[in-house]
Structure 1
């Protein structure tokens, strides 16, 4: 089994670990130089970075749990956990201790976490909270802690010795293929445009045509990795700056996320925006989170556009968060009707008024509307259903707490809109009416265009490729 995906995860591990270590190291040593090669890392003379030493096991060996988060089957923690690996790094050299599909760990387990979330029980018809479904929190730290609990409960290898969790999506490999160019494995060409779809098809269905058994279906990954390594070696030194740039961008866009069991290192990861955690910022806050539940890889066929509006009721401020979905897929091997559980995380103390556009009934009866508190944020949740070729607008309407916009206490409004791990190309539109004169600070009036705004309105269009922060000041 080790041979199935060893090379695949080896290159991913080296990219991820070298990338994040180099990120820290180059920030601390901007004039330093580094030389990389597969199978190890040679660094410059100024190698005094604590993070570098720890991440690469230069002081003592480190054990990592790697999660392959398939973002074409979106989950709150970044994507369905399709596979995992246990890797030990000792003096910058990785050793693959175990690697397999998450379904194998779940199938062989005799004990599981209790009480899976109601949407998982209802939509997937399961009574056990499996490892593959354990990344239910959109906060990667909280998600990783639960993943580790599930991993230990299912008797995962070295479950008591995991030092860190690294999650990554197939988007990362697509970006690296843009650098190295097309590769060929078993006579099949993979490139940045077709990589995820073609690999999913060949692993799920194409193995029959290749004359392979079901248990051998992921052998293709080893050949893909071999081809990728060979192609990467051709320009690893010349293209080093490109690799660093891709890794840093993938971290910023939350396609690569990290969690450290050691709280001191976790604090550093959080301070450097590497942890994929929910922000604890004050002021207004919006975080839309979708969970694909039994809808194949349909997220690849969805376009999303998020609109956030605020209007004054005279005594309070009413917020409306609307996600516009467009299902461009069909009923086929990869996509189907989109069944999901959608949540928004908003300021603590917000009060739900209504939800429109959500699904109201399934085979089990009336679908509930839920709410709760997580990581200091209020959340509201509901089920959605989108038929191929159709569009859907889902709106959460709620009253903001009085302290979010309080002219007596503050002349400034702050909004932080957070991006879900693993998502791609979500549009973001703001239409904020405060009922009094405003002055945009961040983004500035120059960045946003004065012609799009009146004295009372703040209108801005951007995207959620990364987290977005906004600051508005009110005139006296």
Structure 2
């Protein structure tokens, strides 16, 4: 079987496994079902191999094994009803098998009796786990927003207890399987460790929800029409107050409210100095890694008098963009806003909110984001009242949004944050392993003073990588941006798009040629004389800053990557292209059957296509297509795309 299949266009089903092409896992398997899958399959294997009854019992064993496998497949596809039915059948068959053994007068040795008991308990606990998971999926959000937090916490505790028992029972079964030499591999022995990580997550989550004290959590509304490195400009946000597992208040605010009551004088990152003297929460999502951006936003908000005078601290943040709001409205149906004489639906939500913010009556009285204060509580209520079919549809759509980084979550709690990163929903930048053999690319846009023009920008990325026999890899990158908002009525769509591009490549990469790079005049200020302080995270980013005068390009280093930076200003109806040639930071290993890996990480909210062309060294072809050049393209890449190809040496 080949290790890669070229897919163009990409499959709509993100769960489809494509050898060689990997994307991040669906986050809706929120209790790490993947750890349970092996456990269930292994249990069926154990039942089928350990117990050998007379012929009348054989059919029951086959049924147990088959139902365990069906349950595993159903959980993998998040088909909870089917999984529950299969696990119920397992319990029924186990009890039937036990009855048959008694009727047949079978005398079981002690080890088999113990294994039988453990297997039966495992089936019961797995069934309880599936029931709890299905109940949470159906009712969890409604309990949260409907003042029934005690039910939510109770169900999470039940889930946690069932998982704890699964760890103990699976460990006992694995020990027995090893004694009987049933061929359980190391992967089976690691299942217990995976489940223990899940227990740590559940303990932390329950510990956060359960206290009677109020907990505060942020929802950051990121506007991808005005892109920023972590997603989009944070024009507004919601402060969610939770108590005892229940949502008791939703306070939607304009981001300028807390910034207006912030006494700190912090030096902004260099490109932001083109539009602002002082750094604040509104511009704090400057980092491509969402956890770093979210932490920075929280730092600014907590120091604003709005929250500092009340000693309010935030446990974390979730970022959502407009595509996610559209999906919610598609599931809930339209919402009527009487005081605005508007009906908001999935088709007009961006247009109408943008118009109210820029030109509505609320702006005249100093509350341009008031419409969001009215809309947000209605959305929460509508979600809580969805029927079962609506919840399933919405869960599927939001799962896709997580995959595409349209929704990202950050928690201060390290156990929860680690779990979110394992799920691939934390918006983190990938750490490249020390033995990484390949290349990495992320193209990160920052609209600075270009209004809402990213809504009408079409971006195309073309990367050609030419690998020589000595392992030197020359990268030729072209980033094309077309502004097609020239005919729009609204001025905020047909302004010039002022984009500061950051191009993340492997650490140690060196520029050899550039065309199309632009500069932007930024007033120089003596910030220290003005009493401003430097931010530690910005210092970490800019301490490596250097201007490569020969090419008119900036160079920095962060997150184990080299970053090339340049302005690209595109007028309405025009097109701009930035071209860079650079040598990868580490030589490629060149030999027969060596795997070369290309990784692309997409910016949240960006609309871009990607085309990659890999040229093998002289004397080699790519095993996947038998040719010296391998081409791959995709119109809408996932949050993280991993492309693996294999060098094959030609015969002399």
Partner of 1:294: 449
Partner of 2:492: 334
Cα distance between partner residues in 2 of 1:318 and 1:414: 15
**1:238 Cα shift?**
2.8
Cα distance between partner residues in 2 of 1:229 and 1:469: 36
Secondary structure in 2 aligned to 1:414?
strand
Task: Kindly provide the CA deviation profile for residues 425-471 of structure 1, in whole angstroms up to 9, marking residues without a partner as x.
Answer: x211011112343335xxxx5xxxx5xxx611010111323311011
Count of residue pairs brought into register by the alignment:
439
**1:168 Cα shift?**
1.3
Task: Kindly provide the CA deviation profile for residues 360-402 of structure 1, in whole angstroms up to 9, marking residues without a partner as x.
Answer: 4548699952111101111110111001011122122211123
**1:194 Cα shift?**
1.7
Cα distance change on mapping 1:154 and 1:410 into 2, 3 Å:
farther
Cα distance between partner residues in 1 of 2:371 and 2:218: 22
1:23 to 9, 30, 33: 30
Secondary structure in 2 aligned to 1:115?
coil
TM-score (norm 1): 0.83
Partner of 1:472: 645
Deviates more, 1:410-419 or 1:268-277: 410-419
Task: Kindly provide the CA deviation profile for residues 43-87 of structure 1, in whole angstroms up to 9, marking residues without a partner as x.
Answer: 558422654564474333543132221111100011111112332
TM-score (norm 2): 0.62
Preserved CA contact (<8 Å) 1:433 1:458 = yes
**1:253 Cα shift?**
1.0
Cα distance between partner residues in 2 of 1:363 and 1:221: 34
**1:258 Cα shift?**
1.2
Cα distance between partner residues in 2 of 1:103 and 1:216: 10
Preserved CA contact (<8 Å) 1:139 1:276 = yes
Cα distance change on mapping 1:109 and 1:178 into 2, 3 Å:
same
Cα distance between partner residues in 2 of 1:52 and 1:300: 39
Cα distance change on mapping 1:460 and 1:378 into 2, 3 Å:
same
Cα distance between partner residues in 2 of 1:144 and 1:269: 14
Cα distance change on mapping 1:387 and 1:107 into 2, 3 Å:
same
Deviates more, 1:29-38 or 1:260-269: 29-38
Cα distance between partner residues in 1 of 2:280 and 2:596: 42
State the Cα RMSD in Å: 2.9
Preserved CA contact (<8 Å) 2:252 2:372 = no
Counterparts of 1:88-103 in structure 2 under 5 Å? 88-96=241-249, 98-103=251-256
Cα distance change on mapping 1:105 and 1:161 into 2, 3 Å:
closer
Partner of 1:417: 600
2:409 to 258, 280, 284: 258
2:327 to 168, 175, 180: 175
Secondary structure in 2 aligned to 1:74?
strand
Cα distance between partner residues in 1 of 2:314 and 2:385: 34
Deviates more, 1:350-359 or 1:74-83: 350-359
Preserved CA contact (<8 Å) 1:295 1:337 = yes
In structure 2, the gaps of 5 or more residues are 1-25, 37-128, 161-198, 525-548
Cα distance between partner residues in 1 of 2:592 and 2:628: 19
Cα distance between partner residues in 1 of 2:28 and 2:216: 15
Cα distance change on mapping 1:216 and 1:350 into 2, 3 Å:
closer
Preserved CA contact (<8 Å) 1:23 1:248 = no
Cα distance between partner residues in 1 of 2:361 and 2:387: 32
Cα distance change on mapping 1:263 and 1:435 into 2, 3 Å:
same
Partner of 1:116: 268
Cα distance between partner residues in 2 of 1:363 and 1:430: 35
**1:136 Cα shift?**
0.8
**1:417 Cα shift?**
0.3
Query: Of the two, which has the highest radius of gyration?
Result: 2
Partner of 1:203: 357
Residue 104 of structure 1 pairs with residue 263 of structure 2: no
Cα distance between partner residues in 1 of 2:344 and 2:312: 38
Cα distance between partner residues in 1 of 2:249 and 2:371: 18
Cα distance between partner residues in 1 of 2:631 and 2:605: 27
**1:354 Cα shift?**
2.7
1:273 to 420, 424, 430: 424
Cα distance change on mapping 1:262 and 1:286 into 2, 3 Å:
same
Partner of 1:459: 631
Secondary structure in 1 aligned to 2:563?
strand
Cα distance change on mapping 1:456 and 1:30 into 2, 3 Å:
farther
Cα distance between partner residues in 2 of 1:422 and 1:111: 30
Residue 347 of structure 1 pairs with residue 506 of structure 2: yes
**1:241 Cα shift?**
1.1
Cα distance between partner residues in 2 of 1:152 and 1:224: 25
Preserved CA contact (<8 Å) 1:320 1:396 = yes
Secondary structure in 1 aligned to 2:323?
helix
Cα distance between partner residues in 2 of 1:133 and 1:327: 24
Preserved CA contact (<8 Å) 1:184 1:224 = no
Cα distance change on mapping 1:156 and 1:51 into 2, 3 Å:
farther
